[in-house]
Amino acid sequence: MSESDKERADEQKPQAAQPTQIEIQTEDEPQSPYRNMWVPLLVVPALIAMVLVLVASFFQLLSTDQKSPQQNLELMLNGGINERQQATFELVRQILEYQHASMDDREVEWDIDASFLTLLSAERAKLPAPTTTKEVSSAFVLSSLLAELGDAGGVRQLVETTRLSEELDPGALYRMNSIFVLGSIGRELPEPERLLVAERMIAVLEGEDEGLAGLAAGALQSLPSPGTVPALVSLLGHRRADLRLQAALSLAELGDPSGVPVLLELVPLTLYLREREAFPDRWLPQIVSATREKVLEALAKLDRLPEEAELRALAESDPDPNFKSKVLTLLGRGTPKGEG
Protein backbone atom coordinates (compact mmCIF):
# COMPACT_ATOMS: atom_id res chain seq x y z
CA MET A 1 0.00 0.00 0.00
CA SER A 2 1.30 3.46 -0.86
CA GLU A 3 1.91 6.12 1.79
CA SER A 4 -0.98 8.21 0.46
CA ASP A 5 -3.31 5.23 0.76
CA LYS A 6 -2.00 4.57 4.25
CA GLU A 7 -2.63 8.16 5.30
CA ARG A 8 -6.23 7.81 4.16
CA ALA A 9 -6.77 4.61 6.11
CA ASP A 10 -10.01 4.65 8.05
CA GLU A 11 -9.78 5.16 11.76
CA GLN A 12 -10.90 2.08 13.64
CA LYS A 13 -12.98 1.53 16.76
CA PRO A 14 -11.43 -0.92 19.20
CA GLN A 15 -13.25 -4.19 19.79
CA ALA A 16 -14.46 -5.36 23.15
CA ALA A 17 -11.62 -5.82 25.59
CA GLN A 18 -10.27 -9.30 26.21
CA PRO A 19 -9.28 -10.26 29.77
CA THR A 20 -5.52 -10.29 29.06
CA GLN A 21 -5.35 -7.47 26.52
CA ILE A 22 -3.89 -4.05 27.23
CA GLU A 23 -6.06 -1.11 26.21
CA ILE A 24 -3.75 1.43 24.63
CA GLN A 25 -6.01 2.91 21.98
CA THR A 26 -8.53 5.68 22.01
CA GLU A 27 -11.77 5.35 20.09
CA ASP A 28 -9.99 7.04 17.20
CA GLU A 29 -6.86 5.16 16.15
CA PRO A 30 -3.86 7.42 16.89
CA GLN A 31 -1.60 8.39 14.02
CA SER A 32 2.06 7.45 14.17
CA PRO A 33 4.25 10.43 15.11
CA TYR A 34 7.03 9.15 12.83
CA ARG A 35 5.56 9.52 9.34
CA ASN A 36 8.07 12.24 8.44
CA MET A 37 11.12 10.78 10.15
CA TRP A 38 13.97 12.98 9.01
CA VAL A 39 15.68 13.51 12.37
CA PRO A 40 18.41 11.19 13.67
CA LEU A 41 16.77 8.52 15.77
CA LEU A 42 19.55 8.30 18.28
CA VAL A 43 18.68 11.65 19.86
CA VAL A 44 15.41 10.23 21.19
CA PRO A 45 15.20 7.51 23.90
CA ALA A 46 13.50 4.40 22.59
CA LEU A 47 10.73 4.29 25.13
CA ILE A 48 9.51 7.75 24.16
CA ALA A 49 8.05 5.93 21.16
CA MET A 50 5.71 4.04 23.43
CA VAL A 51 5.01 7.01 25.66
CA LEU A 52 3.84 9.00 22.64
CA VAL A 53 1.52 6.19 21.61
CA LEU A 54 0.15 5.77 25.10
CA VAL A 55 -0.09 9.28 26.44
CA ALA A 56 -3.09 10.40 24.39
CA SER A 57 -5.12 7.58 25.91
CA PHE A 58 -3.79 7.80 29.43
CA PHE A 59 -3.32 11.47 30.19
CA GLN A 60 -6.64 11.74 31.95
CA LEU A 61 -5.96 8.56 33.91
CA LEU A 62 -2.82 9.63 35.77
CA SER A 63 -3.02 9.33 39.53
CA THR A 64 -0.76 9.74 42.54
CA ASP A 65 -1.23 6.11 43.62
CA GLN A 66 2.29 4.66 43.35
CA LYS A 67 2.68 0.97 42.51
CA SER A 68 5.76 -1.11 41.90
CA PRO A 69 6.65 -2.25 38.37
CA GLN A 70 5.63 -5.79 39.35
CA GLN A 71 2.22 -4.56 40.55
CA ASN A 72 1.75 -2.52 37.37
CA LEU A 73 2.61 -5.50 35.20
CA GLU A 74 0.01 -7.61 37.03
CA LEU A 75 -2.66 -4.92 36.60
CA MET A 76 -1.66 -4.31 32.99
CA LEU A 77 -2.43 -7.92 32.17
CA ASN A 78 -5.30 -8.75 34.50
CA GLY A 79 -6.92 -5.55 35.77
CA GLY A 80 -10.05 -3.77 34.63
CA ILE A 81 -10.01 -1.55 31.54
CA ASN A 82 -9.02 1.65 33.33
CA GLU A 83 -6.57 -0.22 35.56
CA ARG A 84 -4.85 -1.74 32.53
CA GLN A 85 -4.54 1.63 30.84
CA GLN A 86 -3.15 3.31 33.93
CA ALA A 87 -0.79 0.44 34.75
CA THR A 88 0.59 0.30 31.20
CA PHE A 89 1.43 3.98 31.18
CA GLU A 90 2.95 3.83 34.66
CA LEU A 91 5.10 0.82 33.80
CA VAL A 92 6.44 2.47 30.66
CA ARG A 93 7.18 5.63 32.65
CA GLN A 94 8.93 3.67 35.39
CA ILE A 95 11.20 1.83 32.98
CA LEU A 96 12.00 5.06 31.14
CA GLU A 97 12.96 6.66 34.46
CA TYR A 98 14.96 3.57 35.41
CA GLN A 99 16.93 3.72 32.15
CA HIS A 100 17.75 7.40 32.58
CA ALA A 101 18.77 6.95 36.22
CA SER A 102 21.02 4.02 35.32
CA MET A 103 22.72 5.96 32.52
CA ASP A 104 23.31 8.95 34.83
CA ASP A 105 24.55 6.78 37.74
CA ARG A 106 21.72 8.09 39.89
CA GLU A 107 19.88 6.13 42.56
CA VAL A 108 17.28 3.88 40.94
CA GLU A 109 13.86 4.18 42.53
CA TRP A 110 12.31 1.08 40.97
CA ASP A 111 13.44 -2.49 41.52
CA ILE A 112 13.78 -3.53 37.89
CA ASP A 113 16.28 -6.39 37.86
CA ALA A 114 16.84 -9.72 36.13
CA SER A 115 13.92 -11.30 37.96
CA PHE A 116 11.56 -8.63 36.59
CA LEU A 117 12.87 -9.24 33.07
CA THR A 118 12.18 -12.96 33.52
CA LEU A 119 8.65 -12.19 34.70
CA LEU A 120 8.06 -9.83 31.77
CA SER A 121 9.35 -12.39 29.28
CA ALA A 122 7.13 -15.11 30.75
CA GLU A 123 4.04 -12.92 30.48
CA ARG A 124 4.87 -12.03 26.88
CA ALA A 125 5.26 -15.73 26.05
CA LYS A 126 1.70 -16.36 27.24
CA LEU A 127 0.22 -14.08 24.59
CA PRO A 128 -1.02 -15.93 21.50
CA ALA A 129 -0.23 -14.78 17.98
CA PRO A 130 -2.38 -11.66 17.47
CA THR A 131 -5.59 -11.94 15.49
CA THR A 132 -6.95 -8.45 16.27
CA THR A 133 -5.49 -4.96 16.53
CA LYS A 134 -6.14 -5.07 20.28
CA GLU A 135 -3.90 -8.10 20.62
CA VAL A 136 -1.19 -6.39 18.59
CA SER A 137 -1.13 -3.54 21.08
CA SER A 138 -0.55 -5.91 23.99
CA ALA A 139 2.29 -7.71 22.25
CA PHE A 140 3.90 -4.45 21.12
CA VAL A 141 4.10 -2.95 24.60
CA LEU A 142 5.56 -6.06 26.21
CA SER A 143 8.00 -6.73 23.37
CA SER A 144 9.18 -3.11 23.39
CA LEU A 145 9.78 -3.20 27.15
CA LEU A 146 11.74 -6.43 26.77
CA ALA A 147 13.82 -5.05 23.91
CA GLU A 148 14.58 -1.85 25.83
CA LEU A 149 15.78 -3.94 28.78
CA GLY A 150 18.16 -5.89 26.54
CA ASP A 151 16.16 -9.07 25.92
CA ALA A 152 16.96 -10.71 22.57
CA GLY A 153 13.50 -12.26 22.42
CA GLY A 154 11.87 -8.84 22.59
CA VAL A 155 14.05 -7.65 19.72
CA ARG A 156 13.03 -10.61 17.55
CA GLN A 157 9.38 -10.03 18.42
CA LEU A 158 9.59 -6.41 17.30
CA VAL A 159 11.21 -7.52 14.05
CA GLU A 160 8.19 -9.76 13.48
CA THR A 161 5.85 -6.87 14.30
CA THR A 162 7.28 -5.00 11.30
CA ARG A 163 5.80 -7.76 9.12
CA LEU A 164 2.20 -7.25 10.25
CA SER A 165 -0.56 -7.03 7.68
CA GLU A 166 -2.60 -3.89 7.08
CA GLU A 167 -5.60 -5.73 8.51
CA LEU A 168 -3.92 -6.23 11.89
CA ASP A 169 -2.12 -2.89 11.83
CA PRO A 170 -4.25 -0.33 9.98
CA GLY A 171 -2.26 2.79 9.23
CA ALA A 172 0.99 0.93 10.12
CA LEU A 173 0.99 2.41 13.63
CA TYR A 174 2.72 -0.55 15.27
CA ARG A 175 5.00 -1.34 12.34
CA MET A 176 6.28 2.22 12.39
CA ASN A 177 6.72 2.33 16.14
CA SER A 178 8.50 -1.04 16.11
CA ILE A 179 10.96 0.27 13.54
CA PHE A 180 11.48 3.38 15.63
CA VAL A 181 12.20 1.41 18.82
CA LEU A 182 14.56 -0.97 17.01
CA GLY A 183 16.46 1.94 15.48
CA SER A 184 16.64 3.75 18.79
CA ILE A 185 18.32 0.83 20.55
CA GLY A 186 20.34 -0.31 17.54
CA ARG A 187 23.76 0.74 18.80
CA GLU A 188 23.27 -1.11 22.08
CA LEU A 189 22.28 -4.41 20.44
CA PRO A 190 24.68 -7.36 20.49
CA GLU A 191 26.00 -8.16 17.03
CA PRO A 192 23.63 -11.08 16.21
CA GLU A 193 20.53 -9.00 16.99
CA ARG A 194 21.97 -5.89 15.32
CA LEU A 195 22.64 -7.80 12.10
CA LEU A 196 19.17 -9.36 12.24
CA VAL A 197 17.50 -5.97 12.66
CA ALA A 198 19.68 -4.37 9.95
CA GLU A 199 18.74 -7.12 7.51
CA ARG A 200 15.06 -6.52 8.21
CA MET A 201 15.37 -2.74 7.88
CA ILE A 202 17.12 -3.17 4.52
CA ALA A 203 14.24 -5.37 3.37
CA VAL A 204 11.74 -2.69 4.46
CA LEU A 205 13.83 -0.09 2.64
CA GLU A 206 13.49 -2.10 -0.55
CA GLY A 207 9.74 -2.67 -0.14
CA GLU A 208 6.84 -0.84 -1.73
CA ASP A 209 5.74 1.15 1.32
CA GLU A 210 7.56 4.47 1.13
CA GLY A 211 6.45 5.60 4.59
CA LEU A 212 8.00 2.55 6.22
CA ALA A 213 11.04 2.84 3.95
CA GLY A 214 11.76 6.36 5.18
CA LEU A 215 11.61 5.25 8.78
CA ALA A 216 13.79 2.21 8.07
CA ALA A 217 16.36 4.52 6.45
CA GLY A 218 16.46 6.48 9.70
CA ALA A 219 16.82 3.33 11.79
CA LEU A 220 19.77 2.12 9.73
CA GLN A 221 21.96 4.97 10.97
CA SER A 222 22.33 3.05 14.23
CA LEU A 223 22.56 -0.40 12.62
CA PRO A 224 25.94 -0.77 10.90
CA SER A 225 26.22 -4.00 8.92
CA PRO A 226 27.82 -5.12 5.64
CA GLY A 227 24.65 -4.17 3.78
CA THR A 228 23.73 -0.93 5.56
CA VAL A 229 25.73 1.64 3.58
CA PRO A 230 25.01 0.10 0.14
CA ALA A 231 21.28 0.02 0.94
CA LEU A 232 21.27 3.67 1.99
CA VAL A 233 23.35 4.71 -1.03
CA SER A 234 20.79 3.05 -3.30
CA LEU A 235 18.15 5.39 -1.85
CA LEU A 236 20.05 8.57 -2.74
CA GLY A 237 18.56 8.58 -6.24
CA HIS A 238 14.97 8.13 -5.08
CA ARG A 239 12.34 10.35 -6.69
CA ARG A 240 11.21 11.58 -3.24
CA ALA A 241 13.32 14.29 -1.68
CA ASP A 242 12.46 13.25 1.88
CA LEU A 243 13.72 9.70 1.30
CA ARG A 244 16.91 10.96 -0.33
CA LEU A 245 17.34 13.28 2.63
CA GLN A 246 16.86 10.58 5.25
CA ALA A 247 19.33 8.30 3.51
CA ALA A 248 21.89 11.11 3.33
CA LEU A 249 21.44 11.99 7.02
CA SER A 250 21.84 8.37 8.05
CA LEU A 251 24.95 7.97 5.93
CA ALA A 252 26.42 11.09 7.54
CA GLU A 253 25.71 9.66 10.98
CA LEU A 254 27.62 6.55 9.91
CA GLY A 255 30.52 8.73 8.75
CA ASP A 256 29.94 8.03 5.05
CA PRO A 257 30.08 11.05 2.66
CA SER A 258 28.11 9.46 -0.17
CA GLY A 259 25.08 11.64 0.56
CA VAL A 260 26.94 14.96 0.51
CA PRO A 261 25.57 16.04 -2.92
CA VAL A 262 22.03 15.45 -1.64
CA LEU A 263 22.74 17.39 1.54
CA LEU A 264 24.26 20.32 -0.34
CA GLU A 265 21.20 20.49 -2.58
CA LEU A 266 19.07 20.76 0.55
CA VAL A 267 20.90 23.69 2.14
CA PRO A 268 19.15 26.44 0.12
CA LEU A 269 15.37 26.89 0.12
CA THR A 270 14.99 26.24 -3.62
CA LEU A 271 14.16 22.55 -3.55
CA TYR A 272 11.81 22.85 -0.57
CA LEU A 273 9.77 25.57 -2.27
CA ARG A 274 9.46 23.44 -5.37
CA GLU A 275 8.47 20.38 -3.33
CA ARG A 276 5.94 22.35 -1.30
CA GLU A 277 3.98 23.16 -4.45
CA ALA A 278 3.34 19.46 -4.99
CA PHE A 279 3.30 18.31 -1.35
CA PRO A 280 2.28 21.22 0.92
CA ASP A 281 1.63 19.01 3.94
CA ARG A 282 4.97 17.25 3.65
CA TRP A 283 7.04 20.45 3.76
CA LEU A 284 5.46 22.75 6.31
CA PRO A 285 7.63 25.78 7.21
CA GLN A 286 8.64 24.41 10.62
CA ILE A 287 9.62 21.07 9.05
CA VAL A 288 11.72 22.83 6.42
CA SER A 289 13.43 24.95 9.06
CA ALA A 290 14.32 22.02 11.31
CA THR A 291 15.37 19.92 8.30
CA ARG A 292 17.84 22.52 7.08
CA GLU A 293 19.41 22.70 10.54
CA LYS A 294 19.90 18.92 10.48
CA VAL A 295 21.39 19.16 6.99
CA LEU A 296 23.94 21.73 8.18
CA GLU A 297 24.82 19.59 11.20
CA ALA A 298 25.34 16.54 8.98
CA LEU A 299 27.60 18.48 6.60
CA ALA A 300 29.59 19.83 9.54
CA LYS A 301 29.99 16.31 10.92
CA LEU A 302 31.48 15.25 7.59
CA ASP A 303 33.62 18.40 7.30
CA ARG A 304 31.81 19.27 4.07
CA LEU A 305 30.09 22.58 4.77
CA PRO A 306 30.07 25.09 1.90
CA GLU A 307 32.86 27.66 1.94
CA GLU A 308 32.43 30.32 4.62
CA ALA A 309 31.79 33.18 2.19
CA GLU A 310 29.13 31.19 0.35
CA LEU A 311 27.44 30.13 3.58
CA ARG A 312 27.43 33.66 4.99
CA ALA A 313 25.97 35.07 1.79
CA LEU A 314 23.26 32.44 1.80
CA ALA A 315 22.39 33.13 5.45
CA GLU A 316 22.24 36.90 4.90
CA SER A 317 19.58 36.56 2.22
CA ASP A 318 17.66 33.74 3.87
CA PRO A 319 14.26 34.52 5.46
CA ASP A 320 14.57 31.84 8.15
CA PRO A 321 16.06 33.18 11.43
CA ASN A 322 16.71 29.65 12.69
CA PHE A 323 18.81 28.90 9.61
CA LYS A 324 20.76 32.13 10.04
CA SER A 325 21.41 31.31 13.69
CA LYS A 326 22.61 27.78 12.87
CA VAL A 327 25.01 29.09 10.23
CA LEU A 328 26.47 31.65 12.65
CA THR A 329 26.77 29.03 15.37
CA LEU A 330 28.64 26.61 13.09
CA LEU A 331 30.95 29.28 11.74
CA GLY A 332 31.47 30.82 15.17
CA ARG A 333 32.70 27.58 16.71
CA GLY A 334 35.28 27.22 13.96
CA THR A 335 33.70 24.25 12.21
CA PRO A 336 36.03 23.29 9.31
CA LYS A 337 34.72 24.24 5.90
CA GLY A 338 34.34 21.66 3.19
CA GLU A 339 34.79 21.72 -0.51
CA GLY A 340 31.28 22.97 -1.27
Per-residue burial over 309-340, b if 16 or more Cβ lie within 10 Å, else e, is eebeebbeebeeeebbebbeebbeeebebbee
pLDDT at res. 213: 93
CA distance 245 to 214: 9
For helices 114-126 and 133-148, what crossing angle results, to 10°?
Answer: 160
pLDDT tens, residue order, the chain (340 aa): 444 444 434 333 333 333 233 333 333 333 444 444 433 333 333 444 444 444 434 444 444 567 888 888 888 777 776 776 777 777 777 777 777 677 777 777 777 777 788 888 988 998 889 898 878 888 888 898 899 888 999 999 999 999 999 999 998 888 988 998 899 889 999 999 999 999 999 999 998 899 899 999 999 999 999 999 999 999 999 999 999 999 999 999 999 999 999 999 999 999 999 988 888 877 888 889 989 999 999 999 999 999 999 999 988 999 999 999 999 999 886 444 443 3
CA distance 225 to 230: 10
pLDDT at res. 38: 39
For helices 241-253 and 285-301, what crossing angle results, to 10°?
Answer: 30
pLDDT at res. 80: 76
pLDDT at res. 199: 98
Q: Give 335's contacts (C-beta < 8 A, 6+ positions apart).
A: 300, 305
CA distance 222 to 189: 10
Distance, CA of 201 to chain centre: 13
pLDDT at res. 53: 46
